C-alpha cells in the first residue's frame, strides 16, 4: 500500500466531486434540503389534520341536555345545539345524508339518574354519527372521550395525578433522547444508504463502462491503493451528505415530533457529537467498501444500482430495530455485527447510555470489516472476468 | 541483427461459455478459444499492424501483452524477460490505449495528464515537460483547460493518446486508435505514430482499417478466429504488387472454409 498513490486517487475522486457544482449540490446540500422540506411538510400536514379533527365545524345536536353535561360542554368550549326529542328522526336522516353532524341523545333527568344507585346498571347514552365523514368521526371520538371523562369523575374511587404537581419525573433531555432514538437511527440509516448508493454504484462500474479502469490498471499503481483511495474519498463525500441529512432531520423535528431543534442541539454535548461522527464514519466506511465490491462485480452502473437497491430495505430494517427495543443492546457480541452495531451505538448515544467498551468493539470491528472489503476489492481488480467481462 | 523487444510464443487464451451463451451461439462447447497458439516477434523501432475482423482476438492479444489479462498458455517476453515475472517494469515500458476508452467528462486534459503522470510516479517537472511536448504535437495545448465533455471526438482521442504516452514508454500498444474518427483526425494520428516510430518507439496497433495499415505498417499480421494466419513484411507485399485488402479477404475466406470442412 502506498500513501502517495492513495492520496492521488483520493484527490482525483474528490476533485471530480467538488469540481462539479451540480454533483456537489445534489450530494452534499440537496439531501439536507429535501429531508427538511419533506419532513416539515409531512409533520405540518399531520398536525393540521389532527387540529382540523378537533376544531372542525360539526353540528352537535343534543337531546335532553342536563345541567352537568352543559357545564362540561361549556368548559370544553364546544358549540352545540339543544333540540327536542321530536327532531330526533329528522337529524338522524340528515346524518345519514352526509351532513357533518352528530346527535347525542341523553336520557331524561340524566343528572339525577347518574347520581342515583340505579346508575350502577348503566345509563344509556346514544351518539349518532356517520363513519364515512371524517369530521363526524372526529366529533364522535371527541364526544365519547368527553363523556367517559365525565363518567370517571362520578364513579372513580381513585383520583390519579389530578393535582398541579409534575408527575412525569423524566428530564426533558431524557424524554427528547428517547423520542429521537425511535426515529433518528432509522432515518440516518436510510439516508446514508441512499447517499452511498448514488456515489458508490458509479465509482467502479462507471470506470469499467468508460474503459478508464483498464488504463488505471496498466499503470504501476497498487490495487490496494486504488481500492483504499476510492473507499476513503467516497466516505468523505457520503459523510458530507450524511451531515447534511442530519441537519435536515434536526431542523424538521419541530414539525414531526414537536421537539425544538435548539433542544436537541443543547441536550447533547461535544463528546456525544464526536462519538456520533465517528460512528457515522465507521458505518459509511463499511457500507461504501461493501458497495464498491458490488460496483466492481457489476458490468454497468445500471446493474450496480439495481443490485444495491434491495440492500436499502435491509438497512432500514436494521434502523427500525431501535423502535422495538426498549434499551440499546448490552451484550458485547452484538457490537461485532456490522451495521447493527452502529445503529445500536447511535441508540446508546441518543439515550445517554454510552458504553466505551462497546464503542471500541464497534469501531474496531467496523474498521476490520472495511479492511477486509478493501482487500476483497483489490483482489477483484486482478480478476479479469470481473474487470473485463 | 534486429533487436527483439517483444517475443510472443504459443500464446493461447480461452473463455468459459455460460449456458446462456451456449444457446445463443448454438454450441455445446464449454470453452471458446479467443487466441490460439499465437506466435510473433516485435522488433525495436517497427510498427506492427495486427489486422482482423471483430472477434478475431486482437484486443485479447493486446490485453495479454499489457498484463491486464493472463494467457492460458504460452509466454510473452519483453527484452528477453517473462512479463509475469516483473509486471511493474512491463507497465513502465508499455503505453496502452484501449478502444473503449471514454475519459471522465468532468476533468480537463491538463488534470488527467497530471493524474496519470503521478500514477507513473513522475515528478512535476517530468510531467510538465512531457505534457508540453505531447500537447504541442497533438494540438491539445489550446484545449488543455477545456473539460473533456466539451471536446470533439477527435480531440478526446488525442487526449487519450497523450495520456497513454505520459511516461514515455518504449513500446506502444494501441487497440484500434483511429476507430470512429474522421479522416482529418485519422491522418493526424497516423502522422503522430510515424513521429513516434522516428523517435525509436516500437509500436503494435490493432486495426481493421486497410488504409491505416498501408500508411503505417512495417509488418502486418492477420488474425482470424484467434489465430495468426498471415504475417509478412509490408515491403514484401508492395514488392509483390499486392493489396493488403485482397490478402486479408483471401486468408479470411481460406480460414472460414477450413473451419467449415
User: What pLDDT band is residue A345 in, cutting at 50, 70 and 90?
Assistant: very high
Beta pairing class for B227-233 and B47-52: unpaired
Q: Can you tell me the ipTM of this complex?
A: 0.85
Interface test with B, best of A17, A219, A389 (most B CBs within 10 A): A219
Quote the number of domains for chain B.
1
User: What pLDDT band is residue A376 in, cutting at 50, 70 and 90?
Assistant: very high
Look at residue B12 and tell me if it is in a domain: yes
Judged by CB atoms closer than 8 Å, whether chains meet at B101 and A221 is answered as: no
State residue A273's pLDDT score.
87
Look at residue B109 and tell me if it is in a domain: no
Question: What domains are defined for chain A?
Answer: 3-44+172-388 (no CATH), 53-155 (3.40.190)
State residue B213's pLDDT score.
92
Q: d(Cα B261, Cα B150) in Å, to the nearest integer? A: 52
Q: d(Cα B248, Cα B58) in Å, to the nearest integer? A: 15
Look at residue B192 and tell me if it is in a domain: yes
Q: Give the DSSP H/E element, type plus range, for residue A332.
A: none
Residue pLDDT, tens place only, A304-329: 999 988 887 888 888 888 778 878 88
Judged by CB atoms closer than 8 Å, whether chains meet at A220 and B101 is answered as: no
* pLDDT greater at residue A260 or residue B77: B77
Q: Which residues of chain A does B99 touch, with a Cβ-Cβ cutoff of 8 Å?
A: 211
Q: Under the phi-then-psi rule, with left for phi > 0, alpha for psi from -120 to 50, and beta for the rest, what region is B226? A: left
Q: How far is B119 from chain A (nearest CA, A)?
A: 6
Q: d(Cα B129, Cα B119) in Å, to the nearest integer? A: 16
Look at residue B153 and tell me if it is in a domain: no
Q: Under the phi-then-psi rule, with left for phi > 0, alpha for psi from -120 to 50, and beta for the rest, what region is A114? A: alpha
Look at residue B11 and tell me if it is in a domain: yes
Give the residue from A389, A379, A384 showing the smallest Cα distance to A293: A379
User: What pLDDT band is residue A255 in, cutting at 50, 70 and 90?
Assistant: confident
Judged by CB atoms closer than 8 Å, whether chains meet at B68 and A388 is answered as: yes
State residue A79's pLDDT score.
84
Q: How far is A222 from chain B (nearest CA, A)?
A: 9
Mean pLDDT, consecutive 10-residue stretches, chain B (261 aa), reads 87 86 79 89 94 89 92 91 87 89 90 94 94 92 93 92 93 90 89 92 92 92 91 89 90 83 70
Q: Give the DSSP H/E element, type plus range, for residue A80.
A: none
Average pLDDT value for chain A: 84
Judged by CB atoms closer than 8 Å, whether chains meet at B104 and A220 is answered as: no
Q: d(Cα B220, Cα B237) in Å, to the nearest integer? A: 9
Indicate the residue of A4, A12, A214 with minimum beta-carbon distance to B98.
A214
Residues of chain B with a CB closer than 8 angstroms to some CB in chain A: 63, 66-70, 88, 91-92, 94, 96-104, 106-107, 111, 115-116, 118-121, 163-164
Interface test with A, best of B20, B119, B172 (most A CBs within 10 A): B119
Chain A residue with CA closest to B107: the answer is: A16
Q: d(Cα B48, Cα B232) in Å, to the nearest integer? A: 10
pLDDT of A53 higher than 90:
no
Q: Are A348 and A331 in contact (CB under 8 A)?
A: no
Q: d(Cα A365, Cα B185) in Å, to the nearest integer? A: 55
Look at residue B163 and tell me if it is in a domain: no
pLDDT of A294 higher than 70:
yes
Interface test with A, best of B118, B123, B162, B176 (most A CBs within 10 A): B118
Give the residue from A317, A199, A240, A230 showing the smallest Cα distance to A30: A240
How confident is the model over A91-104, as a mean pLDDT?
88
> Helix B124-138 and helix B109-119: axis angle, to 10°?
130
Cα A249 from chain centroid (whole Å) = 9
How confident is the model over A236-249, as a mean pLDDT?
86
Q: d(Cα B227, Cα B52) in Å, to the nearest integer? A: 10
State residue B216's pLDDT score.
92
pLDDT of A117 higher than 80:
no
Query: Could you tell me the residue range of the domain that residue B84 belongs to?
Result: 4-100+170-260
Phi and psi (nearest 5°) for B147?
A: -65, 145
Q: d(Cα B135, Cα B140) in Å, to the nearest integer? A: 5
Give the residue from A59, A33, A237, A256 showing the smallest Cα distance to A139: A59
Look at residue B75 and tell me if it is in a domain: yes
Give the residue from A227, A213, A185, A256 showing the smallest Cα distance to A37: A256
Q: d(Cα B176, Cα A231) in Å, to the nearest integer? A: 33
Cα A380 from chain centroid (whole Å) = 37
List of residues 6+ apart from A328 with CB closer than 8 A: A322, A344, A345, A347, A348, A351, A353
How confident is the model over A13-42, as a mean pLDDT?
84
Q: Under the phi-then-psi rule, with left for phi > 0, alpha for psi from -120 to 50, and beta for the rest, what region is B139? A: left
Q: How far is B105 from chain A (nearest CA, A)?
A: 9
- Map grid coordinates 525495436 to a residue: B44
Q: How far is B116 from chain A (nearest CA, A)?
A: 8
Q: Please spell the DSSP secondary structure of B145-199, one letter per residue.
A: TS-GGGS-HHHHHHHHHHHHTTT--SEEEEESTTTT--HHHHHHHHHHHHHHHHT
Q: d(Cα A263, Cα B81) in Å, to the nearest integer? A: 70
pLDDT of A266 higher than 60:
yes
Q: Are A83 and A61 in contact (CB under 8 A)?
A: yes
Q: d(Cα A377, Cα A387) in Å, to the nearest integer? A: 11
Chain A residue with CA closest to B16: the answer is: A385
Look at residue B37 and tell me if it is in a domain: yes
**Residue B70 belongs to domain with CATH number:** 3.40.50.300
Alpha-helical regions (H) of chain B: 19-25, 58-65, 87-93, 109-119, 124-138, 153-164, 183-198, 210-216, 234-239, 244-260
Amino acid at each position: 500500500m502506498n500513501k502517495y498513490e492513495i492520496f492521488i486517487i483520493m484527490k482525483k475522486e474528490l476533485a471530480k466531486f467538488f469540481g462539479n457544482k451540480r454533483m456537489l449540490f445534489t450530494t452534499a446540500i440537496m439531501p439536507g434540503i429535501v429531508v427538511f422540506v419533506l419532513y416539515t411538510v409531512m409533520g405540518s400536514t399531520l398536525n393540521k389534520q389532527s387540529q382540523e379533527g378537533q376544531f372542525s365545524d360539526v353540528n352537535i345536536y343534543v337531546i335532553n341536555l342536563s345541567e352537568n353535561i352543559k357545564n362540561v360542554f361549556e368548559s370544553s368550549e364546544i358549540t352545540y345545539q339543544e333540540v327536542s326529542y321530536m327532531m330526533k328522526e329528522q337529524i338522524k336522516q340528515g346524518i345519514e345524508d352526509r351532513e357533518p353532524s352528530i346527535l347525542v341523545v341523553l336520557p331524561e333527568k340524566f343528572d339525577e339518574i347518574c347520581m342515583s344507585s340505579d346508575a350502577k346498571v348503566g345509563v344509556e347514552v346514544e351518539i349518532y354519527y356517520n363513519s364515512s365523514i371524517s369530521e363526524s368521526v372526529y366529533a364522535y371520538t371527541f364526544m365519547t372521550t368527553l363523556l367517559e371523562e365525565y363518567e370517571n369523575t362520578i364513579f372513580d374511587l381513585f383520583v390519579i395525578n389530578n393535582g398541579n404537581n409534575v408527575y412525569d419525573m423524566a428530564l426533558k433531555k431524557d424524554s427528547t433522547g428517547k423520542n429521537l432514538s425511535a426515529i433518528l437511527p432509522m432515518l440516518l440509516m436510510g439516508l446514508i444508504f441512499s447517499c452511498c448508493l448514488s456515489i458508490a454504484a458509479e465509482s467502479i462500474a462507471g470506470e469499467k463502462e468508460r474503459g478508464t479502469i483498464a488504463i488505471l490498471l496498466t499503470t504501476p499503481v497498487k490495487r490496494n491503493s486504488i481500492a483504499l483511495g476510492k473507499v476513503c474519498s467516497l466516505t468523505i463525500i457520503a459523510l458530507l451528505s450524511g451531515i447534511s441529512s442530519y441537519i435536515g432531520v434536526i431542523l424538521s423535528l419541530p414539525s414531526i415530533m414537536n421537539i425544538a431543534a435548539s433542544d436537541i442541539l443543547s441536550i447533547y454535548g461535544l463528546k456525544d457529537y464526536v462519538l456520533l461522527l465517528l460512528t457515522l464514519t465507521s458505518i459509511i466506511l463499511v457500507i461504501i467498501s461493501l458497495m464498491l465490491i458490488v460496483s466492481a462485480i457489476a458490468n454497468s452502473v445500471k446493474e450496480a444500482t439495481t443490485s444495491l437497491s434491495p440492500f436499502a430495505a435491509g438497512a432500514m430494517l436494521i434502523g427500525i430495530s431501535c423502535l422495538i427495543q426498549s434499551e440499546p443492546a448490552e451484550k458485547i457480541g452484538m457490537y461485532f455485527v456490522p451495521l447493527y452495531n452502529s445503529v445500536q451505538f447511535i441508540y446508546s448515544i441518543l439515550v445517554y447510555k454510552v458504553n466505551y467498551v462497546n464503542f471500541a468493539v464497534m469501531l474496531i470491528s467496523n474498521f476490520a470489516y472495511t479492511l477486509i472489503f478493501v482487500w476483497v476489492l483489490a483482489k477483484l481488480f486482478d480478476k479479469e472476468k470481473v474487470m473485463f467481462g | 541483427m534486429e533487436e527483439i523487444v517483444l517475443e510472443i510464443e504459443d500464446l493461447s487464451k480461452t473463455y468459459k461459455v455460460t449456458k446462456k451463451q451456449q444457446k445463443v451461439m448454438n454450441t455445446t462447447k464449454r470453452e471458446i478459444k479467443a487466441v490460439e497458439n499465437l506466435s510473433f516477434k516485435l522488433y525495436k523501432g517497427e510498427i506492427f499492424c495486427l489486422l482482423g475482423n471483430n472477434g478475431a482476438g486482437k484486443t485479447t492479444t493486446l490485453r495479454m501483452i499489457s498484463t491486464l489479462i493472463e494467457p492460458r498458455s504460452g509466454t510473452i517476453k519483453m527484452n528477453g524477460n517473462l512479463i509475469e515475472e516483473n509486471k511493474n517494469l512491463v507497465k513502465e515500458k508499455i503505453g496502452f490505449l484501449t478502444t473503449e476508452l471514454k475519459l471522465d467528462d468532468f476533468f480537463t486534459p491538463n488534470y488527467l495528464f497530471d493524474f496519470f503522470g503521478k500514477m507513473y510516479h513522475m515528478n512535476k517537472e517530468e510531467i510538465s515537460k512531457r505534457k508540453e511536448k505531447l500537447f504541442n504535437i497533438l494540438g491539445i495545448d489550446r484545449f488543455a483547460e477545456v473539460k473533456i465533455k466539451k471536446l470533439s471526438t477527435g480531440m478526446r482521442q488525442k487526449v487519450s493518446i497523450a495520456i497513454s504516452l505520459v511516461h514515455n514508454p518504449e513500446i506502444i500498444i494501441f487497440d484500434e486508435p483511429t476507430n470512429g474518427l474522421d479522416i482529418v483526425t485519422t491522418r493526424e494520428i497516423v502522422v503522430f505514430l510515424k513521429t513516434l516510430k522516428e523517435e525509436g518507439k516500437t509500436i503494435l496497433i490493432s486495426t481493421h482499417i486497410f488504409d491505416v495499415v498501408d500508411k503505417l505498417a512495417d509488418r502486418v499480421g492477420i488474425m482470424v478466429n484467434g489465430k495468426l494466419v498471415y504475417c509478412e513484411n509490408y515491403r514484401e507485399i508492395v514488392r509483390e504488387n499486392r493489396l493488403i485488402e485482397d490478402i486479408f479477404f483471401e486468408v479470411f475466406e481460406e480460414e472460414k472454409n477450413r473451419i467449415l470442412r
